[in-house]
Structure 1
Amino acid sequence: MKAIFKAALLASAAITATPVAAAAQATSQGPSVVDELVVTARRREESLKDVPVAVTAVTGERLAATGATDITNLQQTTPNLTVQVARGSNSTLISFIRGVGQQDPLWGFEPGVGLYVDDVYVARPQGAVLDIFDIERMEVLRGPQGTLYGRNTIGGAIKYVTAKIEGDPELKLKGQFGSYDQRDFIGSAKGMVSDTLGVGLTWASFNRDGYGTNLNTGAEHYNKEVAAARATVEFSPTPDLFFRLAGDIVTDRSNPRHGHRETPAFNSLNQPIPGGEVLPDVYDTRAGSGDHNLVESRGVSLLGEWSVSDTLTFKSISAYRAGETEGTIDFDTLPAPYLDIPARYNDHQFTQELQLLYTGDRVQAVGGLYYLNATAAGAFDTILSQANLSIATAGYVDTESWSAFADVTYAFTDALSLSLGGRYTRDEKTGRVYRQNFTGVGSPLFGNNLAVPGLLRSDFTSTDTYEKFTPRVSLSYDLNTELTAYGSYSQGFKSGGFDMRADAILTPDSRDGYDPETVDSYELGLKGYFFDRRLSLNTAAFYAQYQDQQVTLQTPVGASIASQVLNVGESHMSGVELEGAAFFTPDLSANFSVGYIKAEFDEYRALNPLTGQVEDFADSRVFQNTPEWTGAVSLTYRRDLGEMGQISFIPAASYRSSFSMFETPSILDQGSYWLYDASLVWTSPDERYRVGLHGKNLADERYRVGGYTFPGGLFANSVTAYYGPPRTVMLSLEAKF
């Protein structure tokens, strides 16, 4: 029955699929149409239909209408996308696209999905769960984007795009109130203060009580306490010059997430630990490692654009970002420190990009240079109280990256065009790793100066250089003025590095680090409009080969944990993606999407701890965070109330099939589930006032989004999970002055 339903869902999407992001509009002069959407997937403004890339673009208007609160809402509407809050935090981002990503947010590890805020690359996942405010649109580029976006976009890229400042000064105030004492306030003031100068300032505060409670300390668990601000100055001294100076800061003081114990606890003598039973509420915990958490991320950027001529534009994008994290993860979720990890991170990055864009009758081109200088550092203790042992770990990774890129599109005819692109990247990395045993609960790194130094497990510095040329080619053909077909090949590259948990005693080869990984992707797509633009189409079929795949493994070994980042071998992925939006009547429209992916390991070479030999485990390993099926459908019913304004009703449902949390299946794996949402929005005739009522997860589904598995008595049989939000209802009030 399930297979029949999935087949029917895919078939219906194939018939009527259109971009979920496309803005639908009804006019009194004619029939309702799907509005054309402009994106910057190829670093220049183009119609979504003309871009030979699988792109989902969601407007800020659509996000507001559906009550979306942060970047993770993209997961419910984008095919083959996983975007979640990381284990143990409230603001660290975990992203996977088409099976490619990075679950481990430790310093030194780099994500496989690139995050960009107004074309500025955000290198670290801490503080990257961006709340949605003052936004024009969000774009999700699926598949390797190595030519134009460079390193660490082997899975794809997510772009957070804010709007340019235009028009008279305007003040916008918004409040959101809801379940668990949600209290969000957003204020935005922006506008042109002269013919050449625009100023914008936005401040936001997001607060919510916890979904659960720390039964040991009484503190809120899964709460939210985030403050954010963004300031922008735009200056156009002449029609040919444009400058934007922007700064932002996000501070997250939410309590740490300690997870929910999924199995009963027992000690090293195989005896049950009092209070170690599985709690009935998945949002509750009994963690004792503390309730302090602080994440701060801030940045400043300067964009300069010079229109040299009607055909030539020069751009410069300079940016600096920095962040700090102080927190703790209680792996055992018990009052005693059977397996506790206090940690702190800090990072900073400087990037400079130069672009030259050319637009001619037959040729469109973009080329440029990119430079990154970044440091990611941190420290943590692994506290094992039953062994009276703490393993102190600290270090840093310095990265200096240079690249040159170009992408040229040539139109042979009005219908046929060819794009050729390439990027050369050179990364130089230096990794410093320190790891040492201490007798005592906690090490001197975290204030226990009485701890007795023991075995020095790692103390080394390594340097390596990684170079790669990544090509891209695509051929586009306009079947008619409304329909475009394309085929493309692209390659993505993520450089190697050094495991910050490397244990030179358990795994001596970890001193040498791990090698780069690459993805080669082949894609066929069809985009366009039908029935006088009442229907549009955005469809892609892909096949990808994943070489030298990097996998993070953490294996309990005696009174320690062996961490390895391995190039386990090769795999392949294939699938289809269809997205849709269509008008049935001037008042009724629909958005929907379906994604299917089959991801399999061809080779997975790792150490077998039972035999002490390196073996191929391809037959027993699976892709993590990669459900085979994803789907979403929503309806929008709009009713014009004349002088009373307009009301919209938006019910929605999204589906994810079962998936694994890790490459090795475990009891933490999540079964298939549906999420049901609904929004009711009233807008005044002059669009100055808006009231929305938004319900999320209306069926109150319990579903896992992450977890840790450290079985065995020494680790208190710590198998813990993190869950997505329960049912919530939110009232939003918005006014413009």
Structure 2
Amino acid sequence: MSTRLLLVSTALAPVLIASFAAPSYAGTAEEAVAAAAEAEAEPTADGAIVVTARRRAETAQDVPIAISVVGGDQIDNTGAFNVGRLQQLAPTVQFYSSNPRNSAVNIRGLGAPYGLTNDGIEQGVGIYVDDVYYARVASATLDFLDVAQIEILRGPQGTLYGKNTTAGALNITTNQPTFDFEGKAELSIGNLDFKQAKAAISGPLSDTLAARVAISATSRRGTIYNVTTNRWIQSQDNIGLRGQLLWKPTDALSVTLVGDWNKQDAVCCGSVFVRTGATQRPLARQFDALAAAQNYVPVSTNPYDRLSDTDANLNAGNELGGVALRVKWDIGPGTLTSVTAWRYWDWLPENDRDFTGLPVVTKSQNPSQQNQYTQELRYNYSGDRFDFVLGGFAFHQRIDTQGTEQHGPASSRWTINPTNELSNDPTVLDGLTARNTQYLKNTSVAAFGQLSWKVTDQFTIQPGARINYDKKDGFYQRLVFAGDGSAVTRALTDPVSRARLDVFGPQEYAPSFSDWNFSYDLTANYKVTPDILVYATYAKTFKSGGINQNGVPNDSTGQPALGAQTIRPESVNHYEAGLKTEFWDRRATFNLSIFRTDIKDYQANVNNGQFGVLRGYLANAGKVRTQGVEADFSIRPSERFNAYLNSAYTDAKYVKFVDAPCAPELSGGTTVGEGQTPSPPGTPSGLSPANCDISGQRLPGVSKWAFSFGAEVNAPSSLFGRDGEFYLGYDGSYRSNFSSNATPSAYTWVKGYLLSNVRAGFRADEGFEAYVWVRNLFDKDYIDQLFVGPGSTGLITGLPGDPRTWGGTIKVSF
């Protein structure tokens, strides 16, 4: 057992032992029940949703922030069991993932740059679970565990949350320990061998001590069949455990100890052949010719056959866990909150980076280990005219990565120019190996605060400020070895060594970055009537500068270009105005927001076309702008019917990016010289620009139009002697087309698609629910993400979205 898992187990042990040894329930004070149950995570008696977005309990309609709230029941009913599925319910959320490490959550097109993950920068969207910041988006690929609700906050949130977030935040609240004995269990089965089980139990151990334990397990056969290994890939195999102890000695003090452990062990992650597109490489070096030279034919040219022939081992071992201590102490008119947390993340991947069934790249793996420590301290005050939050936050992260990339016997013919006789010698590149060693030490401290001044009963001014210090120190080393184990260095000048150095170049550097930043925001809101709120916000904020942790370009002497080892902070100006309304005796809600965000020195991901020269690095683009309109409407005319429609128009583009990497159709040729003009796109043996001006083009991963909508109708009845209701529900989502490459390309536009999910079942008044469900009802063929193959060969691969799935779920509670 690893040391980190032992620490989590030690924290969980008293919770588990106490929970299973607890008496059935002897009764405690009613007021302790109400306090410990964290009622702010539940709807009020009139159906209003209570949130803690501003670090105090208030209804969502009273918060002058663009916010979407997804309840635990809606998460379960729609199958949105992780952040990737959440985007079907929240149009402004974008999620993309080629594997758990290379995952990103964006809001309104902003957050993290599209492409390979680089540990040297911050995520623009913060993920918080019960006040604990999760630095790794890999956690987004794991199952939600015992979630009460999720608040999706759009726009900068740095004056309210510990870690600075320029694009928004996901504030996830789990169910808390209770002083009433209660429990619930849920079992789902479906096609593709889908199985999911969830359970939670909560109750008192004494008059002042309560415990809660929750567990979740999900497994499913993969959706792509690998004919080379005779295995289904893209499977699901998740398990999670969460334990909590609540000590409440007085009404004014509560102390919660939390431990969690999550593991993912899927056969993942691969892709399928989608198409080829002409590049400016010589024809003999483009995909069709290279494949024919080795008698290779893709197993299928139809991506929706869901067939793959990748020949390298695939694995996505992903383990996360941690321990947190949360203390809340009511001091006079305010509450002092301390959140101390440690989290770890272990990543053990295996990939096939040539995307083919040929042994070109036979090994590609970058296992890494993270330890993260956070401490947040804040004081919330509520008064007649003034409310405020004052807080401090400290963060330290250490990430160690050990990479191995290796080429195989098919690499020489695939990688070396056919005009070079070395291309016919498989031993030149067979066994060529790069070993990468890197680490990152990331430290951040901040002080933040926000004041709400109720100038009148209707008008409130809300200024906020944040001061932040960030420091990042890193190390990167790449050593290269031939198949016989001998070192390949830049001092070697023979033709074989030069061919090897064109694939893997040794490199070593130690980047460092540090800086102070000050940011602020101002919101004004006015209650036109008790059911109509208007607000306007301006925020001047930033995203911390970073370091390149995956290598940098070489200069003309073959040495690392040290000027590229760090990137500047993003400078963000954000403007927003909104309207929140309730009408028809609060049976209907309509919210509207318009926004614009301007970013200077946008942190973009620049990908290199070759296999191993440089996988990708970060650079500052000139300017980026995203703007749009969002509207949310819901209606509940009676207990028998409810419906919703959420919509977003997002116009996100590069305002100025004059030295961007070029699209595949403009890559692979001879670089233009002075006075020369680049060849038209897709011209074999053409002249390629050194870089491209993509100013005015759309940001990747962003659909201009996105909608989520649904309705549920029910009728009172009984089943097996239980009173309740039969119901029929529908949930749909639509996204228009989007670019699946950092630089828009004619080959990487993903078509828009509409998905439909339905469910029908019986919900008892107490303790029981059973329903059947179908997701992607019409078996829509769609692509989640496209990838540009390495080497400017014109290969485009992709990940098809889930086919139609169906099954049933039974829930019981007591």
TM over 0.5: yes
Which of 619, 643, 647 in structure 2 is aligned with 1:566? 619
| Shift of residue 51, structure 1, vs aligned partner | 1.0
Farther-moved stretch of structure 1 (509-518 vs 720-729): 509-518
Residue 184 of structure 1 contacts residue 205 of structure 1 at CA under 8 Å; is this kept in 2? yes
Q: Which residue of 2 aligns with 1:404?
A: 447
Residue 107 of structure 1 contacts residue 396 of structure 1 at CA under 8 Å; is this kept in 2? no
Change (3 A) 1:287 1:272: same
Residue 238 of structure 2 contacts residue 263 of structure 2 at CA under 8 Å; is this kept in 1? yes
Q: Which residue of 1 aligns with 2:543?
A: 494
Q: Give the Cα–Cα distance (whole angstroms) in 2 for the partners of residues 429 and 731 of structure 1.
A: 48
| Shift of residue 723, structure 1, vs aligned partner | 2.3
Q: Give the Cα–Cα distance (whole angstroms) in 1 for the partners of residues 801 and 752 of structure 2.
A: 14
| Shift of residue 294, structure 1, vs aligned partner | 1.2
Q: Does 1:361 find its partner at 2:371?
A: no
Q: What's the secondary structure of 1:560's corresponding residue? A: coil
Change (3 A) 1:558 1:367: closer
Q: Give the Cα–Cα distance (whole angstroms) in 1 for the partners of residues 295 and 607 of structure 2.
A: 24
Q: Give the Cα–Cα distance (whole angstroms) in 2 for the partners of residues 534 and 210 of structure 1.
A: 43
Residue 152 of structure 1 contacts residue 494 of structure 1 at CA under 8 Å; is this kept in 2? yes
Q: How does 1:232-271 map to 2 (within 5 A)?
A: 232-263=244-275, 265-266=287-288, 268=290, 271=293
Residue 80 of structure 1 contacts residue 629 of structure 1 at CA under 8 Å; is this kept in 2? no
Q: Which residue of 2 aligns with 1:657?
A: 736
Farther-moved stretch of structure 1 (276-285 vs 610-619): 610-619
Residue 274 of structure 2 contacts residue 303 of structure 2 at CA under 8 Å; is this kept in 1? no
| Shift of residue 72, structure 1, vs aligned partner | 2.1
Q: Which residue of 2 aligns with 1:735?
A: 812
Farther-moved stretch of structure 1 (612-621 vs 560-569): 612-621
| Shift of residue 605, structure 1, vs aligned partner | 3.1
> Could you report, residue by residue, the CA deviation over 1:193-226 in whole angstroms, capped at 9, with x for unpaired residues?
3221110111121111111211111122111111
Aligned CA RMSD, in angstroms, stands at 2.7
Residue 146 of structure 1 contacts residue 493 of structure 1 at CA under 8 Å; is this kept in 2? no
Q: Give the Cα–Cα distance (whole angstroms) in 2 for the partners of residues 284 and 363 of structure 1.
A: 61
Q: Which residue of 2 aligns with 1:371?
A: 394
Residue 221 of structure 1 contacts residue 284 of structure 1 at CA under 8 Å; is this kept in 2? no
Q: Which residue of 2 aligns with 1:526?
A: 579
Q: How does 1:318-357 map to 2 (within 5 A)?
A: 318-339=340-361, 340-357=363-380
Q: Which residue of 1 aligns with 2:158?
A: 146
Residue 372 of structure 2 contacts residue 396 of structure 2 at CA under 8 Å; is this kept in 1? yes
Q: How does 1:657-676 map to 2 (within 5 A)?
A: 657-666=736-745, 667-676=747-756
Q: Give the Cα–Cα distance (whole angstroms) in 2 for the partners of residues 372 and 702 of structure 1.
A: 43
Q: What's the secondary structure of 1:330's corresponding residue? A: coil
Q: Give the Cα–Cα distance (whole angstroms) in 2 for the partners of residues 624 and 441 of structure 1.
A: 42
| Shift of residue 511, structure 1, vs aligned partner | 4.9
Q: Which residue of 2 aligns with 1:175?
A: 187
Q: Does 1:300 find its partner at 2:300?
A: no
Which of 712, 726, 729 in structure 1 is aligned with 2:803? 726
In percent, how many aligned pairs have the same letter?
26
Residue 107 of structure 1 contacts residue 377 of structure 1 at CA under 8 Å; is this kept in 2? no
Q: Give the Cα–Cα distance (whole angstroms) in 1 for the partners of residues 690 and 57 of structure 2.
A: 50
Q: Give the Cα–Cα distance (whole angstroms) in 1 for the partners of residues 222 and 442 of structure 2.
A: 38
Q: How does 1:270-289 map to 2 (within 5 A)?
A: 271=293, 273-282=295-304, 283-289=306-312
Q: Which residue of 2 aligns with 1:633?
A: 709
Q: Give the Cα–Cα distance (whole angstroms) in 2 for the partners of residues 441 and 629 of structure 1.
A: 54
| Shift of residue 275, structure 1, vs aligned partner | 3.5
Residue 513 of structure 2 contacts residue 547 of structure 2 at CA under 8 Å; is this kept in 1? no
Q: Does 1:481 find its partner at 2:530?
A: yes
Residue 79 of structure 2 contacts residue 85 of structure 2 at CA under 8 Å; is this kept in 1? no
Residue 409 of structure 1 contacts residue 419 of structure 1 at CA under 8 Å; is this kept in 2? yes
Residue 595 of structure 2 contacts residue 629 of structure 2 at CA under 8 Å; is this kept in 1? yes
Q: Which residue of 1 aligns with 2:146?
A: 134
Q: Which residue of 2 aligns with 1:230?
A: 242
Which of 558, 565, 577 in structure 2 is aligned with 1:512? 565
Unaligned runs of 5+ in 1: 1-20, 28-32, 445-450
| Shift of residue 543, structure 1, vs aligned partner | 1.1
Residue 610 of structure 2 contacts residue 790 of structure 2 at CA under 8 Å; is this kept in 1? no
Q: Does 1:582 find its partner at 2:659?
A: no
Q: Which residue of 1 aligns with 2:110?
A: 100
Farther-moved stretch of structure 1 (577-586 vs 477-486): 577-586
Q: How does 1:426-505 map to 2 (within 5 A)?
A: 426-440=469-483, 457-505=506-554
Unaligned runs of 5+ in 2: 1-39, 277-286, 413-428, 488-495, 662-666, 674-688
Which protein is bigger by CA-based radius of gyration? Answer: 2
Q: Which residue of 1 aligns with 2:406?
A: 383
Change (3 A) 1:579 1:473: same
Q: Give the Cα–Cα distance (whole angstroms) in 1 for the partners of residues 529 and 573 of structure 2.
A: 30
> Could you report, residue by residue, the CA deviation over 1:128-176 in whole angstroms, capped at 9, with x for unpaired residues?
3241331110011111112222545211111211122224222322111
Change (3 A) 1:145 1:524: same
Farther-moved stretch of structure 1 (635-644 vs 426-435): 635-644
Change (3 A) 1:462 1:281: closer
Q: What's the secondary structure of 1:294's corresponding residue? A: strand
Tell me the TM-score normalised to structure 2 length. Answer: 0.81
Q: How does 1:674-713 map to 2 (within 5 A)?
A: 674-685=754-765, 687-712=766-791
| Shift of residue 77, structure 1, vs aligned partner | 2.0
Which one has more relative contact order, counting CA pairs under 8 Å at least 6 apart? Answer: 1
Q: Which residue of 1 aligns with 2:71?
A: 59
Q: Which residue of 1 aligns with 2:465?
A: 422
Q: Give the Cα–Cα distance (whole angstroms) in 2 for the partners of residues 130 and 59 of structure 1.
A: 18
Q: What's the secondary structure of 2:547's corresponding residue? A: coil
Q: Which residue of 1 aligns with 2:694?
A: 618
Q: Which residue of 2 aligns with 1:599?
A: 652
Q: Which residue of 2 aligns with 1:313?
A: 335
| Shift of residue 557, structure 1, vs aligned partner | 4.9
Which amino acid in structure 2 is aligned with residue 476 of structure 1?
N
> Could you report, residue by residue, the CA deviation over 1:572-622 in whole angstroms, capped at 9, with x for unpaired residues?
121100112102444121011110011222210326783478866134642
Which amino acid in structure 2 is aligned with residue 291 of structure 1?
L
Q: What's the secondary structure of 2:185's corresponding residue? A: strand
> Could you report, residue by residue, the CA deviation over 1:314-370 in whole angstroms, capped at 9, with x for unpaired residues?
110000000111112213333333245222111110000000111111000000110
Q: Give the Cα–Cα distance (whole angstroms) in 2 for the partners of residues 523 and 148 of structure 1.
A: 17
Change (3 A) 1:167 1:617: same
Q: What's the secondary structure of 2:367's corresponding residue? A: strand
Q: What's the secondary structure of 1:180's corresponding residue? A: coil
For this pair of structures, how many residues does the alignment match? 699
| Shift of residue 101, structure 1, vs aligned partner | 2.2
| Shift of residue 733, structure 1, vs aligned partner | 0.9
Tell me the TM-score normalised to structure 1 length. Answer: 0.89
Residue 457 of structure 1 contacts residue 505 of structure 1 at CA under 8 Å; is this kept in 2? no
Q: What's the secondary structure of 1:518's corresponding residue? A: strand
Residue 363 of structure 1 contacts residue 410 of structure 1 at CA under 8 Å; is this kept in 2? yes
Which of 72, 76, 79 in structure 1 is aligned with 2:91? 79
Q: What's the secondary structure of 2:784's corresponding residue? A: strand
Q: Which residue of 2 aligns with 1:12?
A: none
Q: Give the Cα–Cα distance (whole angstroms) in 2 for the partners of residues 217 and 732 of structure 1.
A: 33
Which amino acid in structure 2 is aligned with residue 479 of structure 1?
V
| Shift of residue 92, structure 1, vs aligned partner | 6.0
Q: Give the Cα–Cα distance (whole angstroms) in 2 for the partners of residues 316 and 558 of structure 1.
A: 47
Q: Give the Cα–Cα distance (whole angstroms) in 2 for the partners of residues 586 and 371 of structure 1.
A: 47
> Could you report, residue by residue, the CA deviation over 1:362-385 in whole angstroms, capped at 9, with x for unpaired residues?
000000110001012213234343
Farther-moved stretch of structure 1 (652-661 vs 151-160): 151-160
> Could you report, residue by residue, the CA deviation over 1:24-48 in whole angstroms, capped at 9, with x for unpaired residues?
99x9xxxxx7x21111111221111
